[in-house]
Amino acid sequence: MGIEAKAAPPAGLERNLTFMDKLHARLSTMRAQATGFVSQPEPRTIGSYAKGKQLAAGNFQFGGHLVQAEGRSLWAITPPDAMYEAELHGFTWLDDLASVGDRASRLMAQQWVHEWIALYGRGRGLGWSPDLTGRRLIRWINHALFLMNGQTPETNDLYYKSLAHQTAYLGRRWSVASRGLPRFEALTGLLYASLSLGGMERYATPSTNALARECADQIDADGGIPTRNPEELLEVFTLLTWAAAALSEAGRTPLPAHLDAIQRIAPTLRALRHADGGLARFHGGGRGLEGRLDHALAASGVKASHLEGLAMGYARLTGGRTTVIADVSAPPALNASRAAHASTLAFELTSGRRALIVNCGSGAPFGAEWRRAGRATPSHSTLCIDGVSSAKLTAHPQGEFLTSGPKKVTEHRKATEDATELVASHDSYCGEYGLTHVRKMEISLDGRRVTGEDTLAALSDPDRVRFEAHMDKISLQGVPYSVRFHLHPEVDASLDMGGTAVSLALKSGEVWVFMPSHSAKMTIEPSVYLEKGRLKPRASKQIVLSSRVMEYASQVSWSLAKAQDTPSYLRDVDEGLELALN
């Protein structure tokens, strides 16, 4: 039996697909039967003990919402929105209860799983989509012993029947999952189930072949994915390492395309990790779950290696204990840009174990308005003309995609005796203003000094004509622009040297001093730090340099210098942790 991939559905079929998913979910109950586990499942997913205790106490935090319902089932609550509901049906919360592992959390997990079977098991609810079903199957199989311990044979029989039902559904529907992470989740869930459950073996070879094809199609030669989301790349990498381990344990060899993808992704992820162990937060991605990256890299068996060139379109600069990661490529293409940000030439900076310069992050967990705000250029540490983003959000039946982004992005790096230099540019503002943004950054070898220059310039004769035409429209007032540096919430910023500099104190005891050129007005303004798992955005600050383009070129220079280091005993601890990470 072969399984062939199908094209992603047109936007107008979204409602019909929901109907078809439920129809196939009901049809899959026919003749779907699992005889038991072929071998004892081993938990692979990592949960949070703290979140598990919160669940046990009746504090249900999903999709940026907190519902307090002590003594009630999480299925007895009306979901505040679709994101909350999707997190419930994906069952990643099962990892958290399993991490607690006591009798009370086990009984709670067992009750909620069997309530789901009773309420939604025959094709009802939001959970019958290929990606959520794959995510759910992985958790149910990972924690099978936790869920079956102490249960009656009749209850466990219902559990087996539901596993078989969901596996048969995935065998029918995995190919309609969106390309990228959703399809990898669907296929990994199907492969997991086919290798773990007696009676489901018929799906093993087709899902193995399909997973290898997706690796060849979706993982590029440099180990990147079309969305350019570092956290999503980590999730894909984790799924591939789990699938490879499951195949090996079942006596099967993962296909070459599958293993090659793991080999390509590992060095890319290492290059996208800051000195503090967290991933760079670009294009909708966060830092990654604590410990997930280290665990996945260790499980992959891929040895650390130096990555030449860009990592999925990002440039990494290092000096001493300081890392800079900058977005120096065009945004994802239209079909992959549903969660992408207008972040071209934005950067993040981490000193040791402390983040200093950041991007605001993804506002998706906090609603549509925060989602749009987080995607805009002013929410990133880069230059922005007159509040206009370097790419536009365009509404579409399947979401808001990025359009009108830069057509040409350049990047060049070189090393000198005492520093590493990056020069990058993009032409997104050429069409309207005739101006190209050029960003030059340099980090010293000891990591104690980072300097930068942001230039807006009309580089060609046609660009000068556009610039002059725009100047005529605004009565020669000049083109206003700002260069923003968003600070991590734990950075204490204060004006210094009579308002000509900003002192940035980190929790580690380090103090950095930010100084701009005299050509720009400097202010400290409110900002936000958006991160998953919190109920609301965290307040933070940003340094804003403001100026105007009056001629064919305007430049703002700035520098970050370490004025006070971390106390030696804390630095020794930090350096030990960094060595362990790398």
Would you state the structure tokens that stand for residue 250, as one six-digit string?
């079942």
Q: Can you give the pLDDT at residue 397? A: 80
Q: Can you give the pLDDT at residue 535? A: 83
CATH code where residue 556 lies: 2.70.98.70
Based on the domain organization, do 302 and 343 belong to the same domain? no
Based on the domain organization, do 489 and 525 belong to the same domain? yes
Based on the domain organization, do 138 and 223 belong to the same domain? yes
7 lies in some domain: no
Q: Tell me which residues of the chain have a pLDDT lower than 70.
A: 1-17, 21-32, 34, 566-582
State how far the alpha carbon of 170 is from the alpha carbons of 30, 155, 175, 524, in Å: 14, 23, 9, 52
**Angstrom distance (rounded) from CA 438 to CA 426:** 7
DSSP 121-151: TTT-STT-SHHHHHHHHHHHHHTHHHHHTT-
Do 501 and 495 form a contact (C-beta atoms < 8 A)?
Answer: yes
Based on the domain organization, do 303 and 338 belong to the same domain? no
579 lies in some domain: no
**Angstrom distance (rounded) from CA 58 to CA 51:** 11
350 lies in some domain: yes
**Angstrom distance (rounded) from CA 325 to CA 270:** 12
> Between β-strands 197-198 and 36-37, what pairing exists: parallel, antiparallel or unpaired?
antiparallel
Residue matched to tokens 């048969």: 168
Based on the domain organization, do 240 and 364 belong to the same domain? no
Based on the domain organization, do 231 and 145 belong to the same domain? yes
Based on the domain organization, do 266 and 384 belong to the same domain? no
Q: Can you give the pLDDT at residue 512? A: 97
574 lies in some domain: no
Burial 110-138 (b: 16+ CB within 10 A, else e): bebbbebbeebbbbebbbbbbbbbbbbbb
Q: What is the domain range of residue 478?
A: 334-562
Would you state the structure tokens that stand for residue 564, as one six-digit string?
């006070």
318 lies in some domain: no
Based on the domain organization, do 210 and 271 belong to the same domain? yes
Q: Can you give the pLDDT at residue 29? A: 61
| DSSP-based three-state secondary structure for 579 | helix
Q: Can you give the pLDDT at residue 177? A: 92
Based on the domain organization, do 294 and 375 belong to the same domain? no
Based on the domain organization, do 465 and 542 belong to the same domain? yes
Q: How many domains does the chain have?
A: 2
| DSSP-based three-state secondary structure for 314 | strand
For residue 261, give every residue at least 6 positions away whose Cβ sits within 8 Å of its Cβ, in sequence order, or none.
215, 216, 219, 223, 240
3 lies in some domain: no
Q: Can you give the pLDDT at residue 15? A: 40
CATH code where residue 132 lies: 1.50.10.100
For residue 417, give every residue at least 6 positions away whose Cβ sits within 8 Å of its Cβ, in sequence order, or none.
none
pTM of the full structure: 0.90
Q: Can you give the pLDDT at residue 11? A: 37
DSSP 14-77: HHHHHHHHHHHHHHTTTT----EESS---------HHHHHHHHTTEEEETTEEEE-TTS-GGGS
Based on the domain organization, do 234 and 280 belong to the same domain? yes
Based on the domain organization, do 292 and 404 belong to the same domain? no
400 lies in some domain: yes
322 lies in some domain: no
